[in-house]
């Protein structure tokens, strides 16, 4: 029987709700532009900023794994196109700094800290996110052996290489790991394709949104230890 040795955790919408954080971060990004380049903001709409980002991604798909660079590059290019020349990169860096600072202001779901503390006594914990939150800034990251970000490892979920990086960090085989995340494709299908069992966090959207592929579903962190226990003995 294969023992469960490690748990990998998605972050956004698994440990905290991402929408309010991202909305706030977007606003801080925009405010930084209003302050620094009001004439640019008057000429370029939020939609145009978004459209440019999407166009850049189509031109350079690898930026999907480097979302911070993607955002900075897109803004720099737009500023250059609007005549900001050599200042473009600095303005872009400053606006991004405001975005990423706000990006860290997350509020953990209830019981996350307690449950992680408990699980870390027994399992090696690894975080695996496609987002650009700096998990090291959260107190509960102290329970984790490794914190992996797509933009650091150069590959994002659902690609098997992302899960392989988590396995390598935890030093275990796929059957010894359990992945916990909210996203049907990135977390659940991705983990399964990598031969890793998974639990789906349906905290934001509710358990009715669960995908049948998941080995279990939870909508409250207090349910997690028992669910893991059930899967811990073998497959």
Name the site residues for Mg ion (rule: CB under 5 A): 10, 12-13, 182-183
CA angle 157, 228, 235 (to 5 degrees): 80
Nearest to Mg ion of 79, 210 (CB atom):
210
DSSP string, 117-166: HHHHTTSEEEEEESS---GGGSGGGGG-SEEEEHHHHT--TTSHHHHHHH
Which two structure tokens, joined as six digits, stand for 31? 């405010």
Distance CA 10, CA 172 (A): 18
Q: Whole-number minimum distance, CB 131 to Mg ion, in Å?
A: 7
From CA 71, how far away is CA 68, in angstroms rounded? Answer: 5
Closest contact distance (angstroms) between CB of 39 and Mg ion is 37
Specify the residue, 151 or 182, whose C-beta has the smaller distance to Mg ion: 182
* Minimal distance, residue 160 CB to Mg ion, in Å: 18
230 C-beta neighbours (distance < 10 Å), count: 10
CB 7 within 8 A of CB 123: yes
CA pair distance 212, 199, nearest whole angstrom: 11
Rounded Cα distance, 112 and 193, in Å: 27
Q: Which is nearer to Mg ion, 13 or 151 (CB)?
A: 13
The nearer residue to Mg ion, 12 or 176, going by C-beta atoms, is: 12
**At closest approach, how far in Å is the CB of 234 from Mg ion?**
27
In the complex with Mg ion, the residue whose CB is nearer, 10 or 176, is: 10
Choose between 136 and 185: whose C-beta lies nearer to Mg ion: 185
Structure tokens at 227: 């669910």
Give me the least distance between CB of 28 and Mg ion, in Å please: 21
Rounded to the nearest whole angstrom, what is the least distance from the CB of residue 83 to Mg ion in the complex? 39
């Amino acid at each position: 029987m294969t023992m469960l040795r490690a748990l990998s955790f998605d972050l956004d919408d698994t440990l905290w709700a991402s929408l309010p954080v991202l909305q706030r971060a977007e606003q801080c990004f925009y405010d930084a532009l209003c302050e620094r380049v009001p004439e640019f903001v008057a000429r370029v709409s939020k939609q145009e900023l978004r459209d440019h980002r999407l166009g850049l991604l189509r031109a350079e798909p690898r930026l999907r794994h480097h979302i911070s660079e993607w955002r900075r590059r897109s803004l720099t290019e737009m500023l250059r196109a609007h005549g900001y020349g050599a200042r473009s990169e600095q303005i872009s860096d400053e606006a991004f700094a405001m975005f990423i600072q706000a990006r860290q202001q997350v509020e953990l779901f209830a019981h996350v800290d307690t449950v992680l503390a408990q699980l870390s006594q027994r399992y090696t914990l690894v975080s695996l996110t496609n987002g650009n939150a700096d998990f090291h800034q959260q107190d509960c990251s102290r329970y984790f052996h490794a914190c992996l970000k797509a933009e650091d490892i150069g590959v994002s979920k659902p690609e098997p290489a992302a899960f392989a990086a988590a396995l390598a960090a935890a030093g275990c085989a796929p059957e010894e790991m359990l992945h916990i995340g909210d996203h049907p494709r990135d977390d659940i299908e991705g983990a399964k394709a990598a031969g890793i069992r998974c639990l789906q966090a349906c905290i934001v959207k509710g358990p009715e949104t669960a995908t049948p592929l998941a080995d279990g579903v939870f909508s409250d962190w207090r349910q997690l230890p028992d669910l893991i226990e059930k899967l811990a003995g073998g497959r």
